[in-house]
Structure 1
Amino acid sequence: MKSKMTNEPCEKVVPSFQHFLEYITSDSVIIDVHWQPYSSLCRVCTFKYNFIGKYETIQDDLNILMSRINLTSIDWNFDRRFSTGRTRKQYQSIKKETCSYPPDNISYLNKSMTNITDTSISELTHRLPTTVIPSHYQLYIDVGQLEQYLFQGTVDIDIQVNENINKIILNSVALNITKIEYQGNNSVSSIVNGLPEFNEGYEQVTIKFTQAINPGNGRLHIEFNGIISEQLHGFYRTKDNNQIGACTQFEPGYARQAFPCFDEPLFKAKFTISIRAPKHLTTLSNMPIKSQRNDGDHTCIYEFDTTPIMSTYLVAYVIGAYDYVETHDSNNVQIRVYTPVGKKERGLFALHTTAKILPFYAEYFGIKYPLSKVDLIAIADFGSGAMENWGLITSHETYLLVDSQNTTQETKQEVALIVAHELAHQWFGNLVTMECFATWIQFLAIDHVYPEYDIWTQFVSDILATCMIPDALYNSHPIEIPIKKPTDINEIFDDITYEKGSSVIRLLHAYIGDEAFRSGLQNYLAEYAYKNTITENLWSHLSQTSKRPHLSDILSTWTKQMGYPLLNVRQEQQGNNRLLTIEQTRFLADGTIDDKLKWKIPINICTKSNPNEPIHQLYLDEEKKQEFVLEKVTETDWIKLNLF
């Protein structure tokens, strides 16, 4: 990371707060402003203003307002331009900390301008090279010292070297690596050149060798140890009723905190996991236990079956005190819901819901659930709501347990939706990667299992309306955004990704019909199971089955650009025909006009004579205004557009 400013002395210029605001809202898509305060702030404060664009209309009286230090008058203007609640909270937090010290801050800017770094995300490269590809991990984790919150482990990674290299780069953070060995082709060992080099900013470790490694297969052996974290991600500690435990949360990029690995979704591999843990506790992982043996009086070593090919973020293991309830679905898949001790009856609703949804998905997707078991576990200390680890779905108690006497119907419905969402990921997101699809199909599944919920009506108010609020801001973001560095990943898990993405899928399903949608989906899953894929691959299959070759072009305008259109429809009767003039503009919450973005919009039209089925299907391209003639629509007929 390089600063655009140098360390050379600069002229002493006292910047006004207006200049500062104009600076942090410059044309850069993402700006990280680091303050290293030597004044009264006395610590590092980091501004993370994601998705902030240029603030084009600074109020005329800003200087007067700033001179009075009346920041509340501009809070609304700033807050409404943040597209995520996370970013808004970051702004409000830093404002609270700094607004009491505006003279100090301005003084600091005057004295320490060289410490401000303006970095464009496009200039950074945090991705791992593809010169080395993993195929299998043999992972051993020892938590025999669980009470001290310490762990140690070894990992043997089978890799494919694609070209001559003298170093291997992989992800590792907060781990102490104690030994590294590499065994290449023909049992030739390569000697590691010195200690591994850690890049904390990139969360990477570089292993250098004294001689080049030739293309071919090899095995990388790493021994390491670490501390079971207090944070709610990585490999972290849990506690319930004074009983300590540990669990994992590796999405989106926290597996690197538990073992050295190629921690990007691209690098899929199989995993064979063994865990040494206290024998009085339950020990779980993605796969069923293959074998177990005592290791002393108080610990046991559990070896689990090898997983299918999957990304590192789906690896999971849990150690703790749990009860469980069990059943099997109609395809004989073993289902267990694990609960804190004494609460297993509260897992029955999730258990029965899972037993109904798994067969529904297997039939709808045309692919049976690929594992012999699925465990759902309620964890008291779980910060991510729920997580779709393959074969071991982790969840906070609130989102999995139902008290038959006290839980409201609304909460039961929420539990059902979350279970459906995480189970959908066992196909979408595990077989292939798409978060928004799981959000959409959870409603389809619950409508099938619990039709009395009238769940699609709630979709409009709970999902569609939710995403329209942030997406109406000037600086929203597209559904599809490139990932350049680890911190970007958390920022995409917002209302745009989940709610808008699922709303686009809902529109697509209604536009092409369930039969074509389902057929294309099955073809897509069959082709890309266990592989990486891009959105266009799904659009391609749906285009083929729906016989709509322009489908990808339509959907790209919804997934690759921010915002959504407002349609203005005017009608004119011309004999027995109806002339429609449709004009589109981007809808913005502040009422400003933006003619730069245009959408390709499928339009269904229903009439009085056939109110439930569209009799006209139009296609509005990226022109600002278009005219359509509806034949045989009399003057007394009413029409409705887009009953999706």
Structure 2
Amino acid sequence: MGKTCRVSTLCVLCVILALVSIATIVTLWTLALTDHGDVTAPWDSYRLSMDVIPEYYNITIWPRLSPDPNNGLYIFTGQSTVHFECVKETNLILIHSSQLSYTRQDNEHMANGAAALIIESTWLQPETQYLVINLKSKLRQGQKYQLYTEFTGELADDLSGFYRSEYEEDGLQKIVATSQMHPTYARKTFPCFDEPALKAIFHITLIHPPGTVALSNGMERDIANITIDGVSWTKTKFEPTKKMSTYLLAITVSDYTYINTTQKDPQIRIWARRKAIDLGQGNYALNVTGPILDFFQSYYNIAYPLTKSDQIALPDFYYGAMENWGLVTYRETNLLYDPKTSSSRNKEKTATIIAHELAHMWFGNLVTLRWWNEVWLNEGFASYVAYLGADHAEPTWNVRDLIVLDKIHKVFAVDALTSSHPLSSNEDSIVLPNQISEQFDVISYSKVQKLQHLTNFGLFSFFLQTYLNHFGYSNTVGNDLWHHLQMAVKDNNGSLPHSVDRIMSPWVLQMGFPVVTINTAIGKVSQKHFLLDADSNVTVKSPYKYAELQLLKCKYALTHCGMMVFGYWPTLILIQITSNKLFIPMYSFCRAQLLSTSLALRTTSYLSKETEYMPWQSALNNLDYYYLMLDRTDVYQPMQDYIRKQVTPLFLYFKNMTLDWSSVPVQHTDHFFKRMYFKILTQQCVNCNLFRIHPNLRSVVYCSAIAAGDEAEWEFGWLQFKIASVANEANKLMFALACTNNTELLNRYLSYTLNSTIIRKQDATSVITSVASNRAGQKLAWDFVRNHWEYMFTEYGVGSFSFASMITGVTARFSTPAELQEVYTH
């Protein structure tokens, strides 16, 4: 029997409400059709329509550093007023919001000439991460408005947005409320127009417990004690930021202390745990920050635009560091340096990472990419000039030479794969948050390194200066860069064989690089896309069609009957096939089946006479591939014996140089060299006194000791890891624990990564990768990742570096069809 509805006031009201709802939906869909030409509603698009443009935000955030007694969650509450201008008539406001709940959205407290904003309905669109606001009447073009919201979010331990980090000091558990807005997590902290082109000024206020310190991008301007519901709190207001993108906003509340410089313009402060500061672990960072900032102010010919430069070391941080304007955040291992326990590599890492982040204060923060399809505009240049800044701060290190090992060789390896990608992608192809995160890889960071070789050093600096001055506080695309480089060449009476756009467009828009074969006997030049896997199915066009034109003008005498060249123009690597001393890229030719393996391996015969770090490390990097492929075969031990034979003369060389190991080498790279050959030679050191081992050798000795020992040695190492008060020392021990050959211990160590109270989330993928690098642990790590895939992807798949390196690490030894099938079937 069907149901009937008696006509009543309630029934009529229901019908009216239904019709109103339908009319609203029809209106909004009509709006979608009109504005976008298809049937997709505006709130289903991942990109904002740009109908409204923000000018500034007034934001108050109140984190609770103890759990809510009702549900056990750490939370924060907030109030935000965003002032914006309508640039195109609309009755719909889309503002990014993710994992926030709202108690109020209106336009109360209107000021500064803002017009009335009458809201008809609002709802959250979780898939595209919007707060959707439907208005009763259209916003007028050219008119300014403001939107007020009150909201609540969780101060979770997920390392994104506004989150919490925990650490223990003097037996007390302490909480840090901190942030990671990059690239799309500002929307987890407050409703905002969360795209890099929508720059605005931010007025920030933080409410926090008395005795804690609050930090943000601007200097603290007003600190007052207040009472809320009978409880005392501290309220800190900050000076307004410069006009900037949402992803550069930073806020922290902590029990930290700091050291600072005496200079006032800008004020430089290093923040960290009190114990770390008391032990002097922030001193080196403070000492190099001033010289690095001075270098960039001179190099860019633009004064540092802020009143202060804060840098803070965090116990839990997903990335290595983040260039928030005025408040740079770091993993502890990347900012803190302890001369008693940290190695020369740790020191260099601190200097170069600080230089990288400070380079962003101009290249990335002052001038910002328009959209995430051109990440290299921010990261590539910062990666390059970071070495210049570090070289200025530590001129005796010759840091610039390490660009070849640290950047060029690494990007060659990735760009020679079919999984590589162009520097620039189509803007419409990068829209989802995970697609945005995937852009931050070695290609975007390192492929730009050799752009400077198009010009001389002075002209390159001049070009960057004009570019930054012209686009300050705004956004750019790649073509803007080429335009200014072309102008710089013209203004300085320089010349290039072609226009900058013609030269650089193929480099930016095509993935990979060529291998060019030259037969000088008959004058024939041919090229093809270089791929490590010669059998790869590639659909992309062969890159760099103009490369051979430059080769014909090459300054080298092409007198041999066979040559090969590969690399990023204009820095091409020349291989003389008939030469007795061949260069390291020969190994890549072998993997690509262009040359025989025996021919490449013959080049290692000269290593017994080599005493320079760069060729040795390059050779070992390339030989790693053969170790991975052969360490489960009978060839492995003879290979070990051969390399040990080649490195023995080097051991004797340094033994004499260092006065029978009683002193350390003078040259910076010799410190790395010493560690490198000890890694090859050291077999065991079970009963070593940890604090008598030189910091440069500890990671190698710790690993060897745990590998030679068993459960007792492993448990000792684990205890030292748990009580380590220096982040770099803990890091060395963390990696060494993966060196044991006891599979039960390795399985236990892997299981610890599932519990963030035992292994921090930021370190979990590193532990898994370290276990996989151990011959005894590779299969264990692979099975572990497969068995916990959903957890791994959910917890660590938010960014590209960490998760991608884990997948690469656990499959690095795969060399059989059966193992390949395992990857496909999983």
Tell me if TM exceeds 0.5.
yes
Q: 1:291-348, CA deviations, whole angstroms, 9 ceiling, x for partnerless residues?
A: 111013631110100101000000000101112111156x832111101111111011
Q: Equivalents in 2 of 1:171, 1:191: separation in Å? A: 19
Q: Amino acid of the residue matched to residue 535 of structure 1?
A: G
Indicate whether 1:150 and 2:75 are aligned. Answer: yes
Other-structure match for 1:568 = 517
Moved over 6 A (4+): none
Distance verdict in 2 for CA 1:542–1:187, change over 3 Å: closer
1-side partners of 2:510 and 2:460: how far apart? Answer: 23
Report Cα offsets for 1:204-243 as digits up to 9, x if no partner.
1210112222221111111111111220111001112111
Match of 1:190, SS state, is coil
Cα deviation, residue 273, structure 1: 0.3
- Which of 81, 85, 88 pairs up with 1:160? 85
Contact in 2 for aligned 1:473/1:589 (Cα 8 Å): yes
Match of 2:61 in 1: 141
Corresponding residue to 1:337 among 270, 280, 294: 270
- From 529, 532, 535, the equivalent of 1:589 is 532
Cα 1:529–1:185 change in 2 (3 A) is closer
Indicate if the aligned counterparts of 1:520 and 1:541 stay in contact, CA closer than 8 A. Answer: yes
Aligned: 1:308 with 2:245 = no
Which SS does the other structure have where 1:488 is aligned?
Answer: helix
Distance 1:181 1:620 in 2: 56
Task: Report deviation, 1:605.
Answer: 3.6
Match of 2:211 in 1: 280
Question: Alignment identity in percent?
Answer: 34
Unaligned runs of at least 5 residues, structure 1:
1-123, 573-578, 609-618, 622-639
- 2:172 counterpart of 1:246: no
CA distance in 1, matches of 2:241, 2:435: 28
What's the counterpart of residue 52 of structure 2? 132
Aligned equivalent of 1:514, options 435, 457, 480: 457
Q: What residue in structure 1 maps to residue 381 of structure 2?
A: 437
Aligned match of 1:397 in 318, 327, 332? 332
Matched residues in 2 for 1:356 and 1:188: separation?
A: 48
- In the alignment, the residues of structure 2 paired with residue 398 and residue 186 of structure 1 have an alpha-carbon distance, to the nearest angstrom, of 49
The RMSD of aligned alpha carbons is 2.4
Amino acid across the alignment from 1:558: W
The one-letter code matched in structure 2 to 1:381 is D
Distance verdict in 2 for CA 1:175–1:416, change over 3 Å: same
> How far off its partner does 1:517 sit?
0.9
Distance (Å, rounded) in 1 between the aligned partners of 2:414 and 2:63:
44
Q: Which residue in 1 is equivalent to 2:474?
A: 531
Aligned AA (1:319):
V
For the Cα contact (< 8 Å) 1:420–1:445, is it kept in 2? Answer: yes
Instruction: Quote the residue 2:501 is aligned against.
Output: 552
Partner SS for 1:589: coil
As a proportion of its length, which structure holds more helix? 2
Does residue 1:487 correspond to 2:434, yes or no? Answer: yes
Residue 230 (str. 1) matches residue 157 (str. 2): yes
- Could you tell me which runs of 5 or more consecutive residues in structure 2 were left unpaired when the two chains were aligned: 1-43, 69-73, 369-377, 491-495, 558-567, 571-582, 584-826
**What is the CA deviation profile of residues 254-275 of structure 1, one whole-angstrom value per residue up to 9, with x for unaligned ones?**
0000000000101100001001
Letter of the 1:532 counterpart: N
Distance 1:243 1:515 in 2: 49
Q: C-alpha displacement at 1:480, in angstroms?
A: 1.3
User: Counterpart in 2 of 1:9?
Assistant: none
Tell me, what secondary structure is at the counterpart of 1:537?
helix
Is the Cα–Cα contact under 8 Å of residues 144 and 276 in structure 1 kept in the other structure?
A: no
SS of residue matched to 2:281: helix
> Once the two structures are superposed, what CA deviation does each residue of 1:114-164 show, in whole Å capped at 9, x if it has no partner?
xxxxxxxxxx84101100000100111112565542111111111010122
Contact 2:512/2:543 (<8 A) preserved: no
Question: What corresponds to 2:789 in structure 1?
Answer: none
| Mapped partners of 1:379, 1:279: distance in 2 | 21
Q: Cα distance, 1:198 vs. partner?
A: 1.6
Q: Quick check: 1:379 aligned with 2:310? A: no
Q: What's the TM-score, normalizing by structure 2? A: 0.56
The answer for the alignment partner of 1:21 in structure 2 is none
Supply the distance in 2 between the matched residues of 1:298 and 1:568 (Cα, whole angstroms): 75
Counterpart code for 1:539 = W
**2: distance between equivalents of 1:328 and 1:552?**
46
Partner of 1:423: 358
Q: 1:187 to 1:271 in 2, by over 3 A?
A: closer
Q: 1:320 aligns with which of 239, 254, 276?
A: 254
- Aligned pairs, how many? 479
Q: Which amino acid aligns with 1:484?
A: V
Write the letter of the residue equivalent to 1:202: T
Contact 1:280–1:298, Cα closer than 8 Å, also in 2:
no
Higher Cα radius of gyration: 2
2:485 corresponds to which of 538, 542, 550: 542
**Equivalent in the alignment of 1:447:** 391
Q: Give the secondary-structure state (helix, strand or coil) at the position aligned to 1:140.
A: strand
Contact 2:205 2:235 in 1 (8 A): yes
Q: Distance in 2 between matches of 1:151 and 1:496?
A: 37
Could you report, residue by residue, the CA deviation over 1:580-629 in whole angstroms, capped at 9, with x for unpaired residues? 65432110111248683231445674458xxxxxxxxxx999xxxxxxxx
1:30-79 per-position Cα deviation (integer Å, ceiling 9, x unaligned):
xxxxxxxxxxxxxxxxxxxxxxxxxxxxxxxxxxxxxxxxxxxxxxxxxx
Change (3 A) 1:427 1:522: same
CA distance in 1: counterparts of 2:528 and 2:556, whole angstroms: 25
